[in-house]
Amino acid sequence: MPLETTLILFKPDAVAKNLVGTVLARFQDAGFIVRGIKMMHLSDEILAEHYSHIADKPFFPAVRGFMQETPVIALALEGENVISAVRDLLGPTDSIAAAPGTIRGDFGFKDADAKMRNVCHASDSVEAAQAELKRFFKDGEIFAY
């Protein structure tokens, strides 16, 4: 299995509900290693780049507003097959559809915002992870030890 590094963003709902430690523990219990972690406010520019695939949609201002409600926590997480494994741990993007035992099933919102207020963003491919890690971490902020 390939050793990969992925980006996780703890979204404002996770930060506001004080879930970061609980969710991080699930990732670590699964055997993944933290290679970088930081709290940050997301600018309009970084959000427009990160969400470029929806930046022209009428609902994007709501997404931007949500992602700026609190700081987020960016996490660089390493492990074998970590990209797909983390997405399995999280469950589907829509928290309503997420099974109990998954992170979104246990902690995501169960209302009309269930696709947005869903605890974490996680990279969906090796290519996305590489681009997203560069977007949220500067050179020297991801560590090997």
**pLDDT tens digits, the chain, 145 residues: what are they?**
789 999 999 999 999 999 999 999 999 999 999 999 999 999 999 999 999 999 999 999 999 999 999 999 999 999 999 999 999 999 999 999 999 999 999 999 998 888 899 999 999 999 999 999 999 999 999 999 7
Q: Would the pTM count as exceeding 0.85?
A: yes
The reported pLDDT for the residue numbered 63 is 95
> What is the β-pairing status of strands 72-80 and 33-40?
antiparallel
Cα within 13 Å of Cα(52), Cβ side: 8
Q: Which CATH code for domain 3-136? A: 3.30.70.141
> What is the β-pairing status of strands 120-122 and 33-40?
unpaired
User: Using CA atoms, how far apart are residues 53 and 20, in angstroms rounded to an integer?
Assistant: 27
The reported pLDDT for the residue numbered 113 is 86
The reported pLDDT for the residue numbered 4 is 97
Looking at the annotation, which residues are catalytic? 121
The reported pLDDT for the residue numbered 2 is 80
Contact 14, 76 (CB under 8 A): no
